[in-house]
A and B are shown apart, each in its own frame.
Chain A
Amino acid sequence: MHLKYESFVREPLVDGEKNYHQVTEDIVRPIEQKPGRMWYVGFFFSVLLLGWGVFSVFWEVYYGIGVWGINRTVGWGWDITNFVWWVGIGHAGTLISAILLLFRQGWRTGVNRAAEAMTIFAVMCAGQFPIFHMGRVWDAFFVLPYPNSRGPLWPNFNSALMWDVFAISTYFTVSLLFWYSGLVPDFATIRDRAKTKLRKRLYGLASFGWTGTAKNWQRHEALSLVLAGLSTPLVLSVHTIVSFDFATSVIPGWHTTIFPPYFVAGAIFSGFAMVNTLLIVCRKIMGLEDYITVGHLEAMNKVIVLTGSIVGVAYLTELFMAWYSQVVYEQDAFKWRIMGPYWWSYWAMMTCNVVSPQLFWFKKLRRNIPFTFVMSIVVNIGMWFERFVIIVTSLYRDYLPGSWTYYSPTWTEMGFYVGTFGLFFTCFFLFAKYFPVIAIAEIKFILKTSGESFKKDMAPIDAKSTEEFKHELEHAHH
């Protein structure tokens, strides 16, 4: 039998007087009700942004890549900056759903569903940038290794950019499968209590006919565990490979071995910030404060201060290595980052990513919701600047002073970026309306150990001596 006892030192993960039915009610109710005015307003603006993005992309495809501000020296600008930024944001979802599952972190259950959804939408946004950066987007399928009439001429599997194609598409597929396999039983819950015919039919389709027999659940647990085991190295590999896009080149500022761990830490840093941004709004609007508690937000703030510090150490290591290498190109690249024409982007990055997250060492601030919300946005601004700094300030002054340049984006590039926000939030609004935002079955699974009302009943157990408790446990189930 499962031990239904958890120390009082740990704060409850589900607040309030809840039983299994109440959990279902709380999480499924927003799906069954008509959405509020806030939802319509938010959804409308998201679609508007998406439309603007579609127009910007159309303009780029029609007139060619020349409508962007990138030039012969700065070949990668906002597009690749945004690609890396969005992929990085996705990483938190997999960290929460996979790595924290392997680490048996109970608090992940409240936030994993929404975080995984965020991962999938963020990777969808990220994927747009390299695809449209190709210029002749109608030939984008050339990256796929299919038998073709040109030889067959295969893509170069030794190229970091080709690795990226495999990494991002695998990451998207596996995240989607992991997310959906968790959703199947929850769709069955919605289906079984559905009052309208349409809802019963659609959720019946989405639930794959799941009924939840003991064997079903046994396989489900095995599947989740193995998918978590697969996703853990996968998520580390994805941003490692993204960093290889830079690190395998011979550009000063890019050609460093610190890139993989530094990119992964930065990805988790920005991803957790985005999870905080989304969930602080979500819990408020959907009334899910009992499931996404201040304790959850605090746990994520702890991850933010840890990964923010790792990123800070990485920035300082880069500076040290530039000096220590005695390579004049490397030294100049970093000198100009700090006080060249793009000094503002470097200092924005330093302030937002290294200095401000240190405030989370204070427990009061970690548990302060408005402060957390502001910080979550500050961190993501900082992480955007980090990618901008890495990409643009390594390129604009290359080996040949005659081709030095200054890069700024045009409206199509900005519109494209804004458009991915539209795509992201359109998807997220639809998800919040039609999908269970919190994993229902998983919350029920931890309810009796970590629910507030059940923890109260543990007071007599907590008062017992260890010997007494052990003795009773051994004799209880025979």
Chain B
Amino acid sequence: MAIKKFAVACYNDEEVLFPAVKKVRHSGFKLHDVYTPFPVHGLDHALGLKETDLHVAGFIYGITGTATAVGFMSWIFTSDWPINFGGKPHWSLPAFIPITFELTVLFAAVGMVLTFCYLNQIMPGVKKHVFHPRQSDDLFVVALEISDANEQEAINFLKTTGAVETSVQIAESEWWYGRFDKEEPYEKYTTVNG
């Protein structure tokens, strides 16, 4: 938990957001994060974010599922309780294919979704500070981490980037357990320029 001070700028179009993000990265201010209502293609590159390795995790989970299914069925039919089905071999691999496939998909999907939630730190009951109620509607929000010393400088800078609204906010920078219908005492929201 860390309560920090943020300078927040809202943009109403992704065409304005891209040059603004470019300016922020060159400005030397500490960028906290960018919030968008939908996936904006190319924003991750504009921010210099690395590609996600989520699909690699998915592959590993999938392989685990394959190994689990083949291993489990092989063990049961050859050693734990071998049954003679119409004189067919105990280790009848082709008949294992459907269940092996299903378990591969199941492990990969469940594992990936759990990893996705873990990486993004999302879960029912988790609360994060929402910088602007319309950041999930039609505004693109850039939040800079600031101190008392560079507060005015940051706001002045953000105004030059085409923001439709700027503000200074003091808020928790991480997630916490909380309810969205309750305002926490440290979620101060000071609009400097509405």
Residues of A within 8 A of B (CB): 1-2, 19-21, 24, 145, 151-154, 156-158, 162-163, 166-167, 170, 173-174, 177-178, 181, 184-185, 188-189, 191-194, 197-198, 200-201, 203-223, 225-227, 230-231, 233-234, 237, 241, 244, 440-442, 444-445
A163–B101 Cα distance when bound, in Å, is 10
Instruction: Give how many A-B residue pairs fall within 8 Å (CB-CB).
Output: 205
Taking a contact as CB atoms under 8 Å apart, the answer to whether A441 and B37 are in contact is yes
Taking a contact as CB atoms under 8 Å apart, the answer to whether B52 and A218 are in contact is yes
Taking a contact as CB atoms under 8 Å apart, the answer to whether A237 and B102 are in contact is yes
A442–B119 Cα distance when bound, in Å, is 22
Chain B interface residue count, CB cutoff 8 Å, equals: 69
What 8 A-B pairs come out closest when comparing CB atoms? A204-B180, A209-B126, A20-B138, A208-B122, A441-B38, A201-B181, A163-B98, A217-B39
- Check if B189 is an interface residue, CB within 8 A of chain A: no
Using an 8 Å CB-CB cutoff, how does the interface string of B114-145 with A read, 1 for contact, 0 for none?
A: 00110111111111111001111110000000
Contact partner of B34 (CB less than 8 A), chosen from A1, A188, A191, A214, is A214
Task: Known contacts A177-B109, A192-B135; decide if A222 and B180 are in contact (CB<8 Å).
Answer: no
Task: Known contacts A157-B77, A167-B98, A193-B133; decide if A200 and B181 are in contact (CB<8 Å).
Answer: yes
Taking a contact as CB atoms under 8 Å apart, the answer to whether B103 and A158 are in contact is no
Which residues of chain A have C-beta atoms less than 8 A from B77's C-beta?
157-158
Contact partner of B36 (CB less than 8 A), chosen from A184, A212, A233, A442, is A212
Task: Known contacts A20-B137, A21-B138; decide if A157 and B42 are in contact (CB<8 Å).
Answer: no
- Check if B108 is an interface residue, CB within 8 A of chain A: yes
**Chain A's nearest CB lies how many Å from the CB of B131?**
8
**Chain B's nearest CB lies how many Å from the CB of A416?**
27
Which residues of chain A have C-beta atoms less than 8 A from B175's C-beta?
209
A166–B97 Cα distance when bound, in Å, is 12
Which residues of chain B have C-beta atoms less than 8 A from A222's C-beta?
52, 54-55
Task: Known contacts A163-B99, A185-B136, A204-B127; decide if A173 and B110 are in contact (CB<8 Å).
Answer: yes
Taking a contact as CB atoms under 8 Å apart, the answer to whether B49 and A214 are in contact is yes
**Chain A's nearest CB lies how many Å from the CB of B116?**
5
The A contact surface, by secondary structure, is: helix
**Chain A's nearest CB lies how many Å from the CB of B79?**
12
Taking a contact as CB atoms under 8 Å apart, the answer to whether A191 and B180 are in contact is yes
Taking a contact as CB atoms under 8 Å apart, the answer to whether A174 and B43 are in contact is no
Using an 8 Å CB-CB cutoff, how does the interface string of B158-189 with A read, 1 for contact, 0 for none?
A: 00000000000000000100011100000000
Taking a contact as CB atoms under 8 Å apart, the answer to whether B98 and A145 are in contact is no
Task: Known contacts A19-B138, A213-B33, A222-B54; decide if A445 and B39 are in contact (CB<8 Å).
Answer: yes
Chain A, Cβ-Cβ closest to B12: A20
Chain A, Cβ-Cβ closest to B62: A230
Which residues of chain B have C-beta atoms less than 8 A from A177's C-beta?
109-110, 113
Taking a contact as CB atoms under 8 Å apart, the answer to whether A214 and B47 are in contact is yes
**Chain B's nearest CB lies how many Å from the CB of A351?**
34
Chain A, Cβ-Cβ closest to B75: A154
A230–B108 Cα distance when bound, in Å, is 8
Chain A, Cβ-Cβ closest to B58: A226
Taking a contact as CB atoms under 8 Å apart, the answer to whether A212 and B127 are in contact is no
Task: Known contacts A24-B137, A170-B103, A230-B108; decide if A157 and B96 are in contact (CB<8 Å).
Answer: yes
Which residues of chain A have C-beta atoms less than 8 A from B106's C-beta?
170, 173-174
A206–B80 Cα distance when bound, in Å, is 44
> B37, B80, B175: which has the most chain A beta carbons within 10 Å?
B37
Which residues of chain B from 46 to 72 have any CB-CB distance to chain A below 8 Å in the complex? 47, 49, 51-52, 54-55, 58, 62, 72
Which residues of chain A have C-beta atoms less than 8 A from B44's C-beta?
214-215, 217-218
A185–B122 Cα distance when bound, in Å, is 11
Which residues of chain A have C-beta atoms less than 8 A from B103's C-beta?
166, 170
Which residues of chain B have C-beta atoms less than 8 A from A189's C-beta?
37, 136-137
Taking a contact as CB atoms under 8 Å apart, the answer to whether B128 and A154 are in contact is no
Taking a contact as CB atoms under 8 Å apart, the answer to whether B113 and A223 are in contact is yes
Which residues of chain A have C-beta atoms less than 8 A from B108's C-beta?
226, 230
A418–B124 Cα distance when bound, in Å, is 35
Chain A, Cβ-Cβ closest to B32: A213
Which residues of chain B have C-beta atoms less than 8 A from A234's C-beta?
102, 105
A355–B154 Cα distance when bound, in Å, is 69
Which residues of chain A have C-beta atoms less than 8 A from B47's C-beta?
214
Which residues of chain B have C-beta atoms less than 8 A from A207's C-beta?
180
Task: Known contacts A156-B85, A189-B136; decide if A226 and B112 are in contact (CB<8 Å).
Answer: yes
Taking a contact as CB atoms under 8 Å apart, the answer to whether B138 and A203 are in contact is no
Taking a contact as CB atoms under 8 Å apart, the answer to whether B134 and A174 are in contact is no
- Check if B27 is an interface residue, CB within 8 A of chain A: no
> A170, A200, A241: which has the most chain B beta carbons within 10 Å?
A170
A210–B124 Cα distance when bound, in Å, is 10
Chain B, Cβ-Cβ closest to A162: B99
A to B CB contacts below 8 Å, 14 in the list: A154-B76, A170-B105, A184-B122, A192-B133, A193-B137, A197-B181, A200-B181, A208-B126, A213-B33, A214-B47, A217-B39, A218-B52, A225-B55, A226-B54
Which residues of chain A have C-beta atoms less than 8 A from B49's C-beta?
214-215, 218
- Check if B35 is an interface residue, CB within 8 A of chain A: yes
**Chain A's nearest CB lies how many Å from the CB of B4?**
15
- Check if B95 is an interface residue, CB within 8 A of chain A: yes
List 8 extra interface pairs beyond A209-B122, A219-B120, A227-B112, CB under 8 A. A174-B109, A192-B130, A192-B135, A205-B124, A217-B40, A218-B39, A218-B49, A441-B38
